[in-house]
Every structure is written in structure tokens, then in C-alpha cells.
Amino acid sequence: MTRFLKLAAIAFLIYIIGLTVLLVSIFFLGKKTITSLQSGEFAQAQKTLSLLQARSQVVNTLTFGILSRQYISPAKTTFSLASIMIKFASTLQEYAREVQNPSSQLVQEKYVSMKEAFVDLQSFWNVWQKQRTQSLGLWKLLEKRNVLSMLDETGAFLDFFEKFTPFLGYAQDQEDVRVLVLLQNNMELRATGGFMGSFAELEFKRGAMQNLTVQDIYVPDGQLKGYVEPPAPLKEYLFQTGGWRLRDANWDPNFPDSAKTISWFFNQGGSKQYNVIVAINLHLVQEILEITGPLYLTDYNQEISAQNIYSFAQVQTEKDFFPGATNKADVLGAIARAFQRAIIEKASTAPSDLLKYASQAFEQKDVLVWSEQEALQKLVVANGWDGSIKKVDCEHLNCISHSLYLVENNLSINKTNCCMERKAGYDVWIDKNGNVKTELKLFYRNNNPVTPIPPRYYGGGYRNYLRVYTDLPVVRAVTDQHEVEKSNITTQKHDDLKLLDFGWLVEVPGQETETVDISFQEQKLSFDESAVYELYLQKQPGLLTNEYTIRFHVPEDLMVEEKEIEGELIQEPGFYQTTIQVDKNTKKSFVIQKRK
């Protein structure tokens, strides 16, 4: 009997040691798989995943299924999900490489393979999410190892890629697709994001890129003949003499309208019709460089990064400049080609990082899209990528709704916006009779020197033509403690948008501050029942700082509650304050009711 017990103890010890070795090997294989995925070594990752699946099955057998529900089964599902992710990443990698080959005969085939892999990933993602809610053991372990957050990022880009896929499909189906990419410098802020100093042309044939060229905006601008009457504010504050030009054609903050105007100017300058117009901001390029890492430009023996791309491009553009010089096109062309290679490489090695930021860039309006093709434009609008101005109406009877869009236009002919601080205070005053007064205070600080000091500071004074799109009329505007005369405020009614547009000039010299106070028309609420105040804040493309502090001043027998609380909150009798960063179009709803 004693001998039998000894043998049993030895066997049990061997069993425990063997099981421990298996579990440790699974842990290290998991780490190796993650490392391979992060570095884009998909073949190696697939091999380790196969080993993980096999060893998980052995563990399941050795433990007689005891760990199956909480650990083994969800682990196997997770390994399968990772395997499908790898397949998708591999097909995306192959497709991205074929797109760059002008003579490719395989790009459509690679597109189909990638799309099929994406559909498989979407389907299995739903299976994995369902199992995740049913067993928590493994998920807690993965959460500790930060693996769960990595997997969760997959969900973030699945929705975006699903929205983007039809545009890739459109390129596959067309014999010829011409895309105009407007390169907007948001250091010189304009209505749709920034001054259009340059542009790129991309040409595709059946999905394969045929050409990528970058050009100075002044080249086609110089081809325009005749006089074009500019919008009144541009004529008064920028041109004074001379007509409207292509370089300033993005004056309308409603991007579909600006895109049509830009397309018209290009056509007048002799360019062929573009199928798609895309506007991107310098800020987007800087953010992507944070993901890809620095790029090396062989022709210039220079490494460019998110930190120096702006100053480098500006210096090279102005270096030995003379009329007809190609400095700008040359340096931006070199950057664009290096940028293209870096994006393709990142899409191949870490597509989730790139797609995650791309989704954010569209949401934050660093990318705007317009197409002359009706079917394509419907997709753009459905995705919310069109950059159109919107009005939000109340969903309640006892309600005030305020749609507000502040648009800045730098008419200083400088790059002041590199170093401008801007904050907004939005105050709602409600008295015991339900009368509602709304005021907006804008605070500007110009950190630029009085005189520009290139290459660090290209700005000086800030000459900003401020436009306020609102459905509550502006009744008073004060700048520098002086009321702006009504004759100096341009007012337009946009029936298609159901909004009013008030515009006037605001100037902030270098190293100085300025405040702008705006009062809106009074409204009325009843407190016999709960009342709702809805505020819809739209973000201007290219604007780097957009902080709003929203304050309610009410009688002490009333209370204010926010439907979805975010940001810093201060609440006390008669007062409610919340501070938020408006980095995308944001709707805030507040319920005002009597205290119980």
C-alpha cells in the first residue's frame, strides 16, 4: 500500500510539473505571438498560434475539461480570432503593395481576398464578443496583461474599415479615378481647415495607383483668366483690390459648397474634372508621423518628424525662391512619396494603429471628403465625412436648442495659428420667470512675437474674421470692451441650413490677449415640468484648441443635470459648470427642473 501511495504521489507530481510546464509555455507563446503581431511578422505569429491552440487542447484533456468553460474554450476562441486577424492583416498587406504597382493585374484579386477576410473577421468578432460576456475567468487574466485592450482596439477599426471599403470598391470598378487632395496648412486657419498652399493629384486605374504628383496651388491659380467677385469680407479685409482666387476658394465652412467652388476654380484653370476632392490638414500629417515614426528624405539628407516637418517644409519652400521656382512642389513631392511608403508599410505591419487613427481623423474633421458622383457622395454623408454644417432640433416640447458653430479665418497672411490659445465660456442665465439669456465669451492669447521670427515663428498679429453660425440670433457683440457696430457685422441667412451667420473682424496683436463677448436673443422656458437645454457645438477643421466651459446660473430652487457627464464638473445650489474639449461635433443635453 505504501509503495502504491509513493507511486501515486510521484505520478501526481509529474502530472503537476507537466501541466505547469504546459501552462508556462502557453504564457510565453502568447507573449511571442503578441510581439510578432506588433512587428508585422504574421507568418511567425500564425505558427505560434497553431502551437497555442494545440497545447490548449492538451491542457483541456489533462484537466478533464474542468478549466474548459472559464479558460480553455474562450482561449481557443481568442486564438481563432487572432488567427483570422492575421489572415486579414496579411491580405491587407498584399493589397496595399499591389495598389502601388501601376501595371498590377492582381490588385482586384487582392481586393476580393482582403474583403472576404474582413467579412470573416467581422463575423468571428461577434462570436468572440458573445463568448466574452459568458465567461469572465480568461478575460480578467487578459486584462491584467493588457492583451484585452489590444483586442478591443480591433472593434474600433472594424466599423471604420466597413465604412471605407465601398470607396476601395469604387476604385476597383472604375477605369479612371482622379482624386484631388487639398493640403491645408492649419497654422494659417481657414474655414475648412487651413490655407490651401499646395495640392496632390492621385490617379487610379482599376484600383492601381498610376500617379502621385504634388503641386503649388499658385500654378493653377495663375491660369485663371478674368475677374471673379469675392465674398464681401474677403474683398474688404484681404483682397481690397483684385478678384477671388483659387487659393482662397475654401471660404465657405460648409465643405460641400467649398468643394464645388474649388472644383470650379480648378476647371477654370484648365484642370480635368476630379471624381473625389479630399481636404487634409497639416495636423493630420503630424499625427500620422507620430505613428509611423520619422521619415528620411534622401534628396535632402534630412530626417523629418512630427516635430520638424512644418519648419523644414517652410524653410525649403522659401529657400532661394523666385517666380517659377519649383522648391515647394519638389520638397512636398519628396515628403508625399516618403509618406506614402511609410503609410503602406504601417498598413502592412500594424494596420490597427493606422486605421484607429484614421477613424479619429475623420471624426475630428482633419479629413473632409466630397464627390461629384451622387452615389459616392451619399456614402460620404452617411459616414459623416462631408464636413457639412448641421442644425440639431429639440426632441422635447419644453426645450431650447442652440446649434453653434464658430469659424475662424486667418486673414493676416501669416502662420499665427501655430501659437494661438483659445477658450470659450458659454453662460446660460435663467431667472425665476423662465427667461433665458445666453452669452458666449471667447478668450484669445497670441503667443507669437510682435514680428515674425522664422523658422520658429511665422506668425505675428492675428487678424481673424470670426463667423458665428447659430440658430439663436446674435443681438450684441463686444470686442476689446467696445461694442461692435451693427454696420461692421455681416449677417447672412442660410435657409438651406436653417442657420444665421454673423461675421466681423477680431484682431489680436502678438504677445497680447483679446476677449469677444456675444449675447444671443432671449428665450423662454416653463418649469411646470422638466425643461431641456440642448447645445450642439460643431468643431472647425484644423482648430487645435477648442475648450468650452459651460455654466448655468439658475434660481436655487432649480437644479441642472447633465444627461451624459464628461469633463470637469462643479455643482452647487444655483450653479452648474462643466468643462469639455470639443475635438469633434458634440451634443450636450441638460435637464432643468425644480428641486424635490
Q: Are 112 and 126 in a shared domain?
A: yes
Q: Are 139 and 160 in a shared domain?
A: yes
Question: Beta partners for 399?
Answer: 532
Q: Is residue 328, in this structure, part of any structural domain at all?
A: yes
Q: Are 350 and 450 in a shared domain?
A: no
Q: Which of 383, 416, 443 is the endpoint of a domain?
A: 383
Q: pLDDT at position 94, please?
A: 87
Q: pLDDT at position 82, please?
A: 79
| Rounded Cα distance, 46 and 36, in Å | 9
Q: Which of 108, 139, 171 is the endpoint of a domain?
A: 171
Q: Are 467 and 586 in a shared domain?
A: yes
Q: Are 142 and 250 in a shared domain?
A: no
Q: Are 141 and 221 in a shared domain?
A: no
Q: Are 112 and 203 in a shared domain?
A: no
Q: pLDDT at position 381, please?
A: 96
Number of compact structural domains in the chain: 3
Q: Is residue 408, in this structure, part of any structural domain at all?
A: yes
Q: Is residue 567, in this structure, part of any structural domain at all?
A: yes
Q: Is residue 234, in this structure, part of any structural domain at all?
A: yes
Q: pLDDT at position 146, please?
A: 55
Q: Is residue 332, in this structure, part of any structural domain at all?
A: yes
Burial state string for 574-592 with b = 16 or more CB within 10 A and e = fewer than 16: eebbbbbebbebbebbbeb
Q: pLDDT at position 28, please?
A: 65
Q: Are 229 and 244 in a shared domain?
A: yes
| Rounded Cα distance, 15 and 19, in Å | 6
Residue 368 belongs to domain spanning = 177-383
Q: Are 405 and 378 in a shared domain?
A: no
- Read off the pTM: 0.88
Q: pLDDT at position 26, please?
A: 61
CATH assignment of the domain containing 287: 3.40.630
State the distance between the two ends of the chain, measured CA to CA, in whole angstroms: 78
Which is nearest to 370 in space by CA: 271, 259, 273, 280?
A: 259
Q: Are 531 and 488 in a shared domain?
A: yes
Cis peptide before 455 (omega within 30 of 0): yes
Q: Are 165 and 210 in a shared domain?
A: no
Cα–Cα distance list, 593 to 431, 523, 526, 530, 579 (Å): 13, 17, 9, 5, 21
Mind listing the pLDDT tens digit of every residue in the chain (596 residues)?
A: 577 666 666 766 765 666 566 666 666 666 666 666 656 666 676 777 677 667 666 766 766 565 555 556 666 777 787 788 888 888 888 898 888 888 888 899 999 999 999 999 988 888 877 776 665 555 565 555 555 566 666 776 788 889 999 999 999 999 999 999 999 999 999 999 999 999 999 999 999 999 999 999 988 988 888 899 999 999 999 876 678 999 999 999 999 999 999 999 999 988 889 999 999 999 888 988 888 889 899 888 999 998 888 888 888 877 665 556 678 888 888 888 888 888 877 766 666 677 778 888 999 999 999 999 999 999 999 999 999 999 999 988 899 999 999 999 999 989 999 999 999 999 999 999 999 999 999 999 999 998 877 766 677 899 999 999 999 999 999 998 899 999 999 999 999 999 999 999 999 999 999 999 999 999 999 998 999 999 999 999 999 888 999 999 999 999 999 987 776 788 899 999 999 999 999 999 999 999 87
Q: pLDDT at position 54, please?
A: 72
CATH assignment of the domain containing 518: 2.60.40
| Rounded Cα distance, 522 and 527, in Å | 16
Q: Are 26 and 78 in a shared domain?
A: yes
Q: pLDDT at position 327, please?
A: 80
Q: Is residue 245, in this structure, part of any structural domain at all?
A: yes
Q: Which of 340, 358, 383 is the endpoint of a domain?
A: 383
Residue 546 in 3-state DSSP? coil
Q: pLDDT at position 349, please?
A: 66
